[in-house]
């Protein structure tokens, strides 16, 4: 097939750079069309980089995050589209308060679904990526991203659903991102120890019960993409409101990451084409 197309669906700007970014950069560099879809504007995200926590940034955080997203897409070499919904924020408290009225996680599914189906039918991806049923982590927008993406995978192929949203299109495969794996963190933490350094993953690993490490068992597909780790990191740094350049994301040297864990991981969740697992290519089986 001369042109292959990948659509990566994410909840907020910066998610595309922390989940599967080296994979999207690789496919784009190889000449495939890659479209990142961002469902919300990230308006309610905290400013996590102290250097950016300034009044002039806080007053226009939505516009700043749009600029950051444009720069990250340029670095990754991908196309980008906003779906245009309002960030729900991350509720805190016990019990958790409801998400804000009118936000992405609060509105009925049908509205976001129709918009994403319209985009799927226009772009006609062979493969989609999104989050699992837990959202990767239980942010309400990540969980809703999963719900909308899975529903769009099904509805885009159904001529009875949203007949005004373009001609039906059957996406061949749907994947879930699985980026935060215990084994990867342990390998890197051990490498820090061997080099007499304090690693950033100790507290996470202490809380992580290996007997309940279900995510590792769900991985079906590993994409070799170590050559694109620098682009991944540069794209992440482009989201300067969200990423502290001195933080743990950038602590492990790239040489260690390339040597110890040169892949990004995915779970094949749906397929309309025959597959043979495990895989090393998201487009495997697509003709």
Annotated binding site for Zn(2+): 12, 15, 142
* Cα–Cα dist 8/125, whole Å: 10
Closest to 49 (Cα-Cα) out of 239, 231, 253, 201: 239
Q: What distances in angstroms separate CA 2 from CA 7, 30, 31, 286, one per listed residue?
A: 17, 12, 10, 11
Separation of CA 98 from chain center: 24
Cα separation, 266 vs 248, in Å, equals 23
Please tell me the distance from the alpha carbon of residue 280 to that of residue 219, in angstroms, as a whole number: 11
CA distances from 70 to 62, 85, 224 (A): 13, 17, 25
- Residue 190, helix vs strand vs coil: helix
Specify which residues 128 forms β-bridges with: 7, 174
- Short-list 235, 233, 226, 227, CA closest to 77: 235
Cα 180 from Cα 135, distance rounded (Å):
12
Binding-site residues, in ranges, read: 12, 15, 142
- Residue written as tokens 């009875």? 160
Q: In terms of C-beta density within 10 A (0-12 exposed, 13-18 middle, 19 or more buried), how is residue 164 classed?
A: exposed
């Amino acid at each position: 097939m001369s042109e292959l197309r990948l659509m990566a669906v994410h909840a907020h700007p910066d998610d595309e750079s922390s989940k599967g970014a080296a994979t999207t950069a690789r496919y784009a560099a190889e000449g495939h069309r890659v479209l990142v879809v961002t469902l919300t504007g990230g308006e309610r995200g905290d400013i996590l980089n102290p250097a950016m926590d300034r009044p002039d940034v806080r007053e226009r955080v939505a516009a700043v995050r749009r600029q950051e997203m444009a720069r990250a897409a340029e670095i990754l070499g991908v196309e980008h589209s906003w779906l245009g919904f309002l960030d729900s924020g991350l509720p805190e408290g016990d019990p958790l308060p409801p998400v804000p009225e009118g936000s992405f996680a609060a509105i009925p599914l049908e509205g976001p679904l129709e918009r994403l189906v319209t985009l799927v039918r226009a772009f006609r991806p062979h493969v989609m990526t999104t989050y699992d049923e837990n959202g990767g982590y239980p942010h309400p927008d990540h969980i809703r991203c999963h719900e909308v993406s899975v529903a769009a995978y099904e509805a885009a192929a159904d001529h009875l659903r949203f007949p005004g949203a373009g001609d039906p299109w059957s996406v061949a495969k749907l994947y879930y991102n699985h980026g935060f794996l215990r084994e990867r963190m342990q390998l890197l933490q051990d490498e820090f120890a061997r080099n007499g350094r304090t690693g950033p993953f100790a507290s996470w690993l202490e809380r992580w019960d290996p007997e309940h490490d279900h995510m590792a068992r769900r991985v079906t597909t590993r994409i070799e993409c170590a050559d694109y780790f620098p682009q991944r990191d540069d794209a992440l740094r482009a989201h300067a409101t969200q990423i502290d350049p001195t933080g743990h994301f950038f602590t492990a040297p790239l040489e260690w990451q390339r040597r110890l864990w040169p892949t990004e991981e995915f779970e094949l969740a749906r397929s309309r084409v025959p597959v043979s697992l495990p895989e090393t290519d998201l487009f495997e089986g697509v003709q």
